[in-house]
Structure 1
Amino acid sequence: MPEPDLELDSRRAIYQRIADTPGIHFRALLEELDYAQGTLQYQLRWLADRGLIAVSDDGKYTRYYPEADFDEADQTVMNALRREYSRRILAHLLADGPFSTKELSDRIGKANSTVSWHLSNLADADLVTKERDGRSVVYEVTDPDRVAYLYTVHRQSFTDRVVDRLLGLWESY
């Protein structure tokens, strides 16, 4: 029998989608579930008010997490992992880092400015550290174990085969 708070099919479906895809944002929920925007907003607010889900703002999206499973540090890591190029940058840094912006740009195939923007966001979130090395700045993951663990545990909710191949982490946890 479902928990009393999750008796409604719609509420249970929304909660389950959040549990299956921690860090999912509103638009993705709206696209994946067949509910009206107002219904989804109401149910998300209801779940948050009762402490069943946590709400996190990553600067671009409002993301949702099962409250009991993710502390603030985990949410910060997952917010970054939900962004494709931040995820790839973290993967390269974990696998072979530390790297400069130029080195990461070459590996990812994106402009220096794009990589720099993502690195700046990752540094602001304390997910990477930066250290001056001559004329360049070198980046390294602050808590590699946490990032690797969260990526590995929630790997199936990401659709990034490049990172999967690069890290090959599934077997290590």
Structure 2
Amino acid sequence: MGVHKTGMDLGDRDRVTVGLISDTHGTLERALLPLLAEVDVIVHAGDLLDPGELRQLTPTSGHVVVVRGNNDTPDQWPEGTEALLDTLPEQAYLTLPGGLLVVEHGHRVNPARRRHERLRGRHPEARAIVYGHTHRRVIDTDTTPWILNPGAAGRQRAFGGIGFLRLTATADEWWVEVMTLPKRGRDT
């Protein structure tokens, strides 16, 4: 079976903000929703597990892009959602002002110690590559393409805190901001 891919072209806009989330595992932190509602597009880098969470994501354009993670499987998704699960691509491509954003979950890019090198080798045409899987936030902008991992937007193993990355893209410049919720103690 070939790699299922999907694409979106927003390159004709002056400025696009993208909320990069991953690894919600059916526990999307509701306190992130108002912040995510302020972005133009939301990209979920896999391990969604609960498609009901998609109804809560309301970016200004209405566009939400989700790739399939290693835990996005029929036995882990609610019964009756197999048809939606089957539509999730393994990779997504978003043309943004100033370049291409590539998204994949990252679990098939091994060994882990060479993941960034291999992602760059797989997608040399990208300006940035987003992956999830590790639940660890990464902003590697020393080399192009950039490698970005938003960490976990859910309550499971949110190393570095529950949050996401906000990527702003213009034709001339891209920048990334970390959006992390304050720690609340044991109820998180």
The answer to whether the superposition gives a TM-score over 0.5 is: no
Instruction: Look at both structures and tell me which one has the larger radius of gyration over its CA atoms.
Output: 1
TM-score by length of 1: 0.27
TM-score computed with the length of structure 2 as normaliser? 0.26
Q: Name the structure where helix makes up a greater proportion of residues.
A: 1
Higher relative contact order (Cα pairs below 8 Å, separated by 6+ residues): 2
More strand, by proportion = 2
